[in-house]
Amino acid sequence: MIPSVPSGKPAPPAEKPWPAGGQDTSVVVNPRSRELTLYIGNVPYKTYKIAPGKPETPTPVGEFRVVSKSKDWGSGFGTRWIGLNVPWGTYGIHGTNKPHLIGTEASHGCIRMRNRDVEDLYERVGIGTKVIILGHVLGEPHRDPRRLAKGDAGGDVLLIQNRLRAAGFFHGACNGRFGPATEQAMKAFERQNGLPVDGVVGLHDYRALGLLE
């Protein structure tokens, strides 16, 4: 028997049935729209609202894999943790104890979800599931890229390291971590290009490296 729907209130859409076993699942995260979409093959199955990183602590951009899953990782991480293989730090998809911030830029780089949503996603992804995070490594086009200094980490740091290496200034590991070797390489680049020598990546450094017009 189909229950009646009150006049003027459309029935909520029924969730698509979850296909049995062996599904080729993947996840696409769009920080700009604050959405995470689960795919089966090339077909979107379900979309959830998220809270990505703040501008100063951005969510990493690129293609990653699920490498760990855990329940009740800690109170600030909600009820589920789905870890990603980001090379420069510990990042993942997790729940939250601040659901009112979902839909805003609120995290330190992780992807926050409502607990009920991350619990649902947790059951539908496995170790090795591909996670694609959309965006530009330098951030949103309407914002200046973040200022980088020793102690920072991220895809933007990795980009700087690769540029410095190509120019012959950096000989360390390109790992997305801004350590002493990156700082010294940045100072050498600044010195040669007549820039303020502070080892900090500001707008003038981005321009000199050919990353901004």
Active site residues: 94, 110
Find out whether 148 and 178 touch, Cβ atoms under 8 Å: yes
Q: How far apart are CA 34 and CA 39, in angstroms?
A: 17
Retrieve residue 165's tokens: 């290496």
Provide the 8-state DSSP code for 77.
Answer: G
Q: How far apart are CA 21 and CA 25, in angstroms?
A: 11
DSSP, collapsed to helix, strand or coil, labels residue 97 as coil
Find out whether 204 and 211 touch, Cβ atoms under 8 Å: no
| Full DSSP string of 149-202 | -TT-BSHHHHHHHHHHHHTT---S--SSB--HHHHHHHHHHHHHTT---SS-B-
- 91 φ, ψ (degrees, to nearest 5): -130, 150
